[in-house]
Amino acid sequence: MNGVMAKILIYGGGKAAKTVIEMLQDDKNVEIAALVARNLDKEGAVYAKEIGIKCFQTIKEISDTGIKFNIIFNLTGEPELELGELATLHDHGIEIINSVSSKLIYDLLYDRHKNHIDKETVIKQLREQKAYFKNILDDSFDMIMVTDRRGIITEFNKGGENMLGFSKKEVIGRKASEFYINPDERDDILEKLKKDKFVANYETVLIKK
């Protein structure tokens, strides 16, 4: 965050939310701005209210309060939220830690908290995990195209370069829909992802250079 205090919105009110709050509440570089959960009777939301963290049931409720935050932890375990109500916040410069990354960070923070591991070790572990996933991206013969919530391509691997003929430099920053023969198919894929949580055996035709 380059010296800017992390002002975190916790999205989710369960056990994971309570644990993350417990581990971060004494960190001087972090402010837990608020918590959002559909059910405010869950243990994480109850604990947040007990220690004075403002709690809401929807993002919309927060927008009227003037509460500022620059990071959202999605601790709901529902990745489809990142394609819906959270997606628009990304356009306003708010970093959304997705459900997979939140789980990784939660595990590392919990391990640090439980075993008294120093912060430098946690950072080292995060870097190792990042390098691990980067190796998967780089070494795969299959095409891997990663986009943000607006559909803008943020990663494109060597397998994709070989398959489509476009270089990574030519692809990064463009809309993924530009590479579909039928651009509407991307919306169809996202709808299936929201509904079923995964997409398998979906045939599509992409544009080659």
**Contact call for residues 53 and 45 (beta carbons, < 8 A):** no
pLDDT, averaged across the chain: 78
Identity of the amino acid at 203:
E
Pairing of strands 145-147, 55-56: unpaired
Residues written for the chain? 209
**Contact call for residues 99 and 115 (beta carbons, < 8 A):** no
HSE-CB at 128 with a 13 A cutoff on CA atoms is 7
Looking at domain 6-130, its CATH superfamily turns out to be: NAD(P)-binding Rossmann-like Domain (3.40.50.720)
Pairing of strands 71-74, 95-97: parallel
**DSSP3 helix / strand / coil % (the chain, rounded to 5):** 45, 15, 35
* pLDDT of res. 120: 62
Q: What is the pTM of this model?
A: 0.52
Across 22-31, average pLDDT: 79
* 128-178 residue pLDDT tens: 666 766 777 777 888 888 887 678 887 888 899 999 999 988 998 888 999
* 74-98 residue pLDDT tens: 887 665 554 455 555 645 556 666 6
Compute the CA torsion angle 153, 109, 193, 207 (nearest 10 deg).
20
Query: Where are the CATH 3.40.50.720 domain residues in the chain?
Result: 6-130
Of 130, 126, 121, residue with least CA distance to 106: 126
Pairing of strands 71-74, 6-11: parallel
Burial class (CB in 10 A: 0-12, 13-18, 19+), 135: exposed
